[in-house]
Amino acid sequence: MADPVVLLERPAEAVVLLRINRPEARNALNLEVRKLIARHMTEMGEDDAVRCIVLTGNDKSFAAGADIKEMAEAGTIEMLQRGIHRLWRAIAACPKPVIAAVNGYALGGGCELAMTCDIIVAGESAQFGQPEVKLGIIPGGGGTQRLTRAIGKFKAMKYILTGELFGAREAFETGLVSEVVPDAEVEKRAVELAKQIAELPPLAVQLAKEAVLAGMDAPLTSALALEAKSLQILFSSQDQKEGMKAFIEKRKPKFSGR
């Protein structure tokens, strides 16, 4: 039997690592990979034992984009019926933080996949890009929008219109990635961050993620109102009482997730 194209690992308590596993195709995202990622994200979103998710590939490639061989002959209706944009929504909709650990190529749909996550840790030789234009198409998984929001119109236009790749340093300097670390430390660092987040009160983490994402789509006044309401809601949580009490009593808090 062939290896599963997405592997599930448990590097730490409350942390799940999802590994895209198609090394022979540079982790190109075929429908099977997309569906499995979406399914795991949905399931982990509902699992109280999971507090943070790491999504990664291998040392050569995070994901080299959509599987070109799978879509080369497709027609409009077939592309519509595949509905791949709906699958990526499962990541953005996941209430738990998702960290992309990127080594090697994050191209096309692979770059879009990383941008759908909440934090991106990149290895120093990682390569990002939206090369779709070279294939006669355009980014279709959020690239024209998320890249523009992350790095600004003029840099995004340069990369989207030329298809030129760019390295981890440039990605960091332009605001696309959260951290750059030596290649060999990408996964370790991503898991470290995930563990750090997993120890925090999950309701506060969830509402912080929600406020950032929903706020990015809203006018500032609405986004600030959402933030204020989210803060107020947290004052009904046991973890807020515990967190503040522990601070005052100079002890480590014990968060229950309630």
How many beta carbons lie within 10 A of that of residue 219, not counting itself?
Answer: 9
Does 132 participate in catalysis according to the annotation? yes
CA 71 to chain centroid: 24
Element at 105 (helix H, strand E): strand 105-107
Q: Rule CB under 6 A: is residue 65 a binding residue for ligand CAA?
A: yes
Of the candidates 38, 64, 66, 190, the residue annotated as catalytic is 66
Total chain residues near ligand CAA (CB under 6 A): 18
| Minimum CB distance to ligand CAA smaller for 134 or for 258 | 134
Closest separation between CB of residue 176 and ligand CAA, Å? 16
How many whole angstroms separate alpha carbon 177 and alpha carbon 125?
13
| Nearest Cα to Cα of residue 171 among 157, 185, 155, 187 | 155
Does 109 participate in catalysis according to the annotation? yes
**Residue type at 147 in one-letter notation:** L
How many whole angstroms separate alpha carbon 197 and alpha carbon 14?
10
| Minimum CB distance to ligand CAA smaller for 94 or for 126 | 126
Q: Rule CB under 6 A: is residue 69 a binding residue for ligand CAA?
A: yes
Does 211 participate in catalysis according to the annotation? no
Contact characters 12-31, ligand CAA, x per CB under 6 A: -------------xx-x---
Closest separation between CB of residue 63 and ligand CAA, Å? 8
**Residue type at 191 in one-letter notation:** V
* Length of the chain in terms of residues written: 258
Among the listed ranges 7-15, 61-69, 118-126, 244-252, the one in contact with ligand CAA (CB under 6 A) is 61-69
| Nearest Cα to Cα of residue 116 among 100, 95, 138 | 100
DSSP-derived secondary structure for 49-64: T--EEEEE--SSEEE-
**Residue type at 224 in one-letter notation:** L
Of the candidates 65, 104, 109, 123, the residue annotated as catalytic is 109
DSSP-derived secondary structure for 167-190: EHHHHHHHTS-SEEE-GGGHHHHH
| Nearest Cα to Cα of residue 97 among 117, 121, 120 | 117
| Minimum CB distance to ligand CAA smaller for 105 or for 255 | 105
Among the listed ranges 46-54, 133-141, 218-226, 250-258, the one in contact with ligand CAA (CB under 6 A) is 133-141
Residues 99-128 that bind ligand CAA (CB under 6 A): 105, 107-109
Closest separation between CB of residue 160 and ligand CAA, Å? 12
**Of positions 66, 101, 115, 191, contacts ligand CAA by CB under 6 A:** 66
Q: Give catalytic residues, as residue numbers.
A: 66, 109, 112, 132
Q: Which residues bind ligand CAA (CB under 6 A)?
A: 25-26, 28, 64-69, 105, 107-109, 131-132, 135, 140-141
